[in-house]
Chains A and B, each alone.
Chain A
Amino acid sequence: MALIDLHKREIHCKIVYYGPGRCGKTTNLFYIYNAVAEKYRGKLLTIETKGDRTLFFDLLPINLGKIHGLDIRIQLYTVPGQAHYRATRKLVLKGVDGIVFVADSLRKRREKNIESLLDLRNNLKEYGLTLEEIPLVFQYNKRDLVSVNIPLLTIEELENDLNKELKAPYFEAAAVKGVGVFETLREISKRTVKYVANKYIFAKKTAKAQGGIL
């Protein structure tokens, strides 16, 4: 749930990186954390199992300038992608304002991508949200593997599998190398802040129209 704090003059939005296990969600946050100057980011919080798999979520707070005189604070979350963590993913989605769906370009992960998107749709539905309505950006990750002879899905195939009807913006990425990471972040942030700000302005207008009740 976006929070607009007129006391501190801040607007808080929650963006969640979603996608199947090992697609590179945590890698995106690590890259952003390392690339952003300290004064524009908070602490990186990760909850993982013994390996490097996300157990609950990762969280990275970042500051993104201003809108309507309010400081923009974005909380980037990742979900645990492994199928059996469905309940946890749902918890992390609580109050989400924007979504990056990270798809794995490995051909053998094709079904996992599709399953994960369906899982996202179902989880959103439980909060009364739809993929059509919420700000959404796709990231087709691991494109660097094109050069090493590992069977990859083509962009056309990924688009066809995941984004045919949604027609959300997409970015090709190699998150380990940082390729496409900021392009993805910029687009989802822009869309999310706009979405939240519009809702806020709309709420203010209707409040006036109804005599001050928000």
Chain B
Amino acid sequence: MMVLTSERVKKLKGVLKEQLLSIGVSLAILIDEAGNVIASSGKENGVDTTSLAALAAANFGATAQIAKLLGEEDFSILYHKGKKDNIHFSRIGKEFILVTIFTDETPLGLVRLRVNQISQDLLNLLVEDD
């Protein structure tokens, strides 16, 4: 069981906003492996984040199993490109996934870089003792 204090949620949202929305990411969602939304920041624009979180967690779980079949450690990043939006999934520690949605105006390389830079900060916030 995970208990999120208000303060912790605010800090997490702050990191997502300052580091990801600032480079043009439209929506960033932090979820756990069971498919719960932990914190999100950005424009939801009618996106059903509950369904998105469940599918993202399932997608990651399935991919991890595929990795196992292939003898890979894990695929720690997944990326899908659409006409309008792109979506990037990245593992944060063992139990969490960061989902970012952005348009072509934001370069994928920059998103990757930022996600890499903040993943340790996010993890520290997620697992820190109250």
A interface residue numbers (CB < 8 A to B): 1-8, 12, 14, 42-43, 45, 56-57, 59, 61, 75, 77, 87-88, 91-92, 94-96, 196, 199-200, 203, 207, 212-214
Contacts and interface: CB of A to CB of B under 8 A. Distances in A.
Contact of B5 (A7, A12, A96): A7
B61 A91 contact: yes
A77 B57 CA distance: 13
Contacts of A88: 62
A200 B1 contact: yes
A27 to B, nearest CB: 20
A7 B6 contact: yes
Given A43-B51, A57-B58, A75-B54, A95 B35 contact: yes
Main secondary structure of the interface of A (DSSP, over half): mixed
28 contacts: A1-B34, A3-B1, A3-B32, A3-B34, A3-B38, A4-B3, A5-B4, A5-B9, A6-B4, A6-B6, A7-B6, A14-B35, A14-B36, A43-B48, A43-B50, A45-B54, A45-B55, A57-B58, A59-B35, A75-B50, A75-B54, A91-B58, A91-B61, A94-B34, A95-B33, A203-B1, A214-B3, A214-B129
Contacts of B57: 94
Given A7-B9, A94-B33, A95-B35, A59 B3 contact: no
Contacts, number: 91
A7 B1 CA distance: 16
B119 interface: no
A4 B1 contact: yes
Contacts of B62: 56, 88, 91
Contacts of B10: 7
Contacts of A14: 34-36
Given A43-B50, A95-B35, A6 B61 contact: no
B27 to A, nearest CB: 17
A95 B1 CA distance: 9
